[in-house]
Chains A and B, each alone.
Chain A
Amino acid sequence: DTEVTQTPKHLVMGMTNKKSLKCEQHMGHRAMYWYKQKAKKPPELMFVYSYEKLSINESVPSRFSPECPNSSLLNLHLHALQPEDSALYLCATRDRLGEQYFGPGTRLTVT
């Protein structure tokens, strides 16, 4: 299995809602990433988990809360988001040679 899956594909939420994004992989990779991507821009790194421990937080606002329950799952909990947080959220895993494998993303719209 060489796939990274993400759910949901699309999400619309109000600024007072709480929602979660889910990412799953079965490639045995021990590094997992969350990126935020705005239209026509490259992905921006948000968080990195290495061996289920948070190793990088790129000064992301606390309204984004990552979680890595096990080596196959990565969640991103969302609370009190702002309209400017609307974007494509990408999950990725990394193999030993540094190649990152990206999921299809969740298109988030905050109203």
Chain B
Amino acid sequence: AQSVTQLGSHVSVSEGALVLLRCNYSSSVPPYLFWYVQYPNQGLQLLLKYTSAATLVKGINGFEAEFKKSETSFHLTKPSAHMSDAAEYFCAVSADGNNRLAFGKGNQVVVIP
């Protein structure tokens, strides 16, 4: 079974500073990996995904993530935080034949002016 670990439930970042959210996965087969963002009282929106093509994945809103098999990681970064980046971020992995997504616990990102 696959699983995802996201450390640090709350992440505070200054406006204009680097955003770094860590995601480590566990999977017995090559995984598909996703980062989703959720704004208050809304559904989840896909930021980016890794599906075994390029290891550096660029997503929406200036976010990107790098798949590192040796480290079983898929960390999310954005060079310069904006106030609008304040939201909940979930890393997820899909690797089993039943099409389940295993979510991490999420990171609540707070942007400080």
Contacts and interface: CB of A to CB of B under 8 A. Distances in A.
A43 interface: yes
Contact of A40 (B44, B46, B106): B106
A98 B51 contact: yes
Interface residues of A, number: 26
Q: How many of chain B's residues touch chain A, expressed as a range?
A: 20 to 34
B43 A97 contact: no
B104 A42 contact: yes
B103 A42 contact: yes
Nearest to B42: A104
Contact of B99 (A41, A94, A107): A94
Nearest to A10: B41
A45 B100 contact: yes
B98 A55 contact: yes
B11 interface: no
Nearest to B103: A42
Contacts of B88: 40
Contacts of A56: 98, 100
A101 B49 CA distance: 12
A100 interface: yes
A104 B98 contact: no
B5 interface: no
B2 to A, nearest CB: 12
B15 to A, nearest CB: 23
Contacts of B63: none
